Amino acid sequence: MTFQLLKLLFKTGKFLAITPPTLQQKKQTLWSKIWATVLVLVLTAFTMIWFIARSRLYMHFIHIKFVMRVLRHLIKYSFCCYVIVAVNFTKRRRWFKLVKKLECVSEAPRPTSRFYYLEFFCANVIFWVVISVSGYILNRYFDNNIVEIFVMILFAWYCLFFYKYLFYTILKMLLLRYQHLNSLVKEELRKESASSGFLQKVEFVLYTLKDAVDCFNDIFGWPLLFVILHSSLLVLDYVDDFFNMSNYNDEKLRMVFVINISLLLMLFPATGVPILFCDTIRSEMKKIVKKLFQLRRRLSPQRKQQFHECVDYCVCNSFPEFSAAGFFTLDKSTIFTILGTITTFLVIMSGRLLAGVAAAALKLGARRMVRHEMGRNSDPSFHVGSIGCIGVIKRLPTMIFDIGPAVPPPPGRELIGVKEELNHRPELTGHCCNGMPTRGGGGGGVVVRNAVSSKNRGHNERRTIAEDE
């Protein structure tokens, strides 16, 4: 892969202050530092405003949903701030060192093609179409404000998308160079005797590529960690929204499904591509070492010692290792670890959801059973005693599942059915579970009091008030 695509990415990223402006090392201007500082301050201010505007909605979430939503946006904000600060203030030289190391090692000669430009263009078209449709749906059906669209979509989402494509581009360049070295070793095996300077050339190439891998880890270690964490939380958050779609009407349900599926299909696979490239580079290095051992049989006894030193260096010092900020190594097992963590968390959330459904079904069934029995039996003591059991029945789900509703119901909503039943049956007023009238409190499950309105209104009015102790 030529450097033309990387140059195009640098020209695009300099407007957002997330990449150097050119491939050549130049002195940074004062205006670029000021622009980077302004972007960080504006992003911080708009993010705080967005959190304040959405805080009332977040208060209705259960604690797990609340933590997931807040963490997802904080990780997105931290990612944007980190890449801006790293490029413009702390790790600018590492970028140019990475480019220099890539230039020192050649890749396999390929015909010049414009396919890479078309690939980048198509990726941008897909991104902007998905984001535009999602933003329109959010504003049309869910009344989201312009702050969310500007901060969380137009800037933060594009930074995530851009860096994922940048990961792919640089890792592809590294992979092509390892593949070219592998082809050179394979050609050397076909010769009758190995050339004298071949081992020195292999050692130099491996040392240069290892240095490039170290620069890649230093530059993109934290961004890779942020991307993996954000993608995992994104899947959990959207799957939870899918489980809670019963809170919306049919049209909103379809819109939520479209948004979630489109964003997941666009962003989550793009997170796995860099991890797969890291594992492929490691596999290519293993092939190179294997072919070097095959080359050993063609060496003279005097050169075998040099060969052992070269192979020991390749295995111990120049083997490529990719990590996410040093927390874990990036290989194929990382994808299964992420999927396993997501699956475990979804099982926990599904168990909580099933517990909530069972609790709601138990409450509804108990209330219907009490109303049915009250309609069949006319004994006042039975009616009030049955109604008194509602308080115990309603507490069963909480005691069994140790859960509570995500949003507490309005005061008095739980006893609407009881009040309606008492208003239609005045003979129940003033009786407790044993059929005796109560005064004030008592030990019954339901206390029923009679209140007589003032005589100034010209008529007496009888009211029945039911309170759940």
* Every domain of the chain and the residues it spans: 4-330, 352-468
The model's confidence at residue 202, banded by pLDDT at 50, 70 and 90, is confident
The model's confidence at residue 250, banded by pLDDT at 50, 70 and 90, is low
- For residues 92-121, give the mean pLDDT: 80
Hey, what amino acid is at 263?
A: L
Q: What is the pLDDT of residue 392?
A: 41
The model's confidence at residue 360, banded by pLDDT at 50, 70 and 90, is low
The model's confidence at residue 200, banded by pLDDT at 50, 70 and 90, is confident
Instruction: Give me the chain's average pLDDT, please.
Output: 73
The model's confidence at residue 358, banded by pLDDT at 50, 70 and 90, is low
Q: What is the pLDDT of residue 366?
A: 57
Buried b (16+ CB within 10 A) or exposed e, 322-356: bebeeeeebbeebbeebeeebeebbeebeebeeeb
Q: What is the pLDDT of residue 112?
A: 57
Q: Is 70 exceeded by the pLDDT of residue 165?
A: yes
